[in-house]
Amino acid sequence: MPRFSANLGFLWQDRPLLERIDAAHTAGFRAVELHWPYDTPPELVRARCATHGLTLLSINTPLGRTELGEFGLGALPGREADFLEGFNVAHTWATAAGACAIHVMAGVVAPEMQAAARETLIANLRTAAAVASEMTLLLEGLNQHDKPGYFYSTLAAKAAIIAAVGAGNVRILFDAYHVGRSEGDVFGNLRRHLPLIGHVQIAAVPSRTEPDEGEVDYARFFDDLDRLGYAGWVGCEYKPRSDTDSGLGWLRKMNATLS
């Protein structure tokens, strides 16, 4: 059975970040991952995780000008300086907090800008990979139902970007929810892309709730992860149907444990 981390962007959203870390520990998690934690001092996050013996995995790069519809800057032509500034903020925060990975968000791109966006993302990732050589940089495709126009939504697209970048610390974030919504064949895609996968996340397809319903048999998915030799964490990045603690009953249903 894989090791599970609590994604505190979605779990225990009714409380401040430091209290979410406390809740994750109380529930039995041994690792946490974050979305955009920049309003909390990283030193406080590091200290709280250390108090509980929690591993801090990852954060996301800044979104940009959300009032203009931006959702990441990595692939936006003309915003290279803004991307690097935001990436440096993420790198500094992650280093101070003790995180080991950064999800580099590509952003929403107009169809006519796809070619230019690809070259922009490759160049930005080369720079970022060198700046944060001690970090794993994660690429996640967002499905077009949830985020129309996001630069990529398929694993093949991310694999091609990684090959073009040519840096060993750039990896795929395999979110089974987004894979299921974007292209299906979650099990086949897992096997095909395992060598490039740096992190895994889960949620029910298509509801994005606890992983005990929907189109993906997660008990089988966890067995496949074990059989394939995946040694990383599995992030619980789902939106609870009610309160987070009550929803953790899915672990018992699958004979899974957090320890």
Residue 85, pLDDT above cutoff 70: yes
Distance CA(6)–CA(67), nearest Å, equals 29
Residue type, 119: E
CATH for 3-253 is: 3.20.20.150
Domain ranges across the chain: 3-253
Query: What pLDDT, on a 0 to 100 scale, did the predictor assign at position 40?
Result: 98
Q: For residue 71, how far is the Cα from the chain centroid?
A: 14
Which positions are annotated as active-site residues?
140, 237
Query: What pLDDT, on a 0 to 100 scale, did the predictor assign at position 257?
Result: 80
Average pLDDT over residues 149-165: 97
Mean pLDDT estimate for the chain: 97
Average pLDDT over residues 216-244: 97
Average pLDDT over residues 190-208: 98
Cβ within 8 Å of residue 96, ≥6 positions away: 42, 43, 46
**pLDDT above 70 as % of the chain:** 100
Average pLDDT over residues 57-80: 97
Enumerate helices (H) and strands (E) in the chain, giving the number of each.
Answer: 10, 9
Strands 136-139 and 101-103: parallel
Helices 155-165 and 186-193 pack at an angle, to 10 degrees, of 10
Residue 164, pLDDT above cutoff 90: yes
For residue range 98-143, what is the model confidence (pLDDT) as tens digits?
999 999 999 999 999 999 999 999 999 999 999 999 999 999 999 9
Residue 160, pLDDT above cutoff 90: yes
Query: What pLDDT, on a 0 to 100 scale, did the predictor assign at position 30?
Result: 97
Distance CA(106)–CA(74), nearest Å, equals 4
Residue 259, pLDDT above cutoff 70: no
Task: For residue 206, say if its preceding peptide bond is cis, omega within 30 degrees of 0.
Answer: yes
Query: What pLDDT, on a 0 to 100 scale, did the predictor assign at position 123?
Result: 98
Q: Name the percent of the chain in helix, strand, coil, to the closest 5.
A: 45, 15, 40
pTM above 0.95, yes or no: yes
Average pLDDT over residues 45-63: 98
Closest CA to 179 of 168, 167, 169, 187: 187
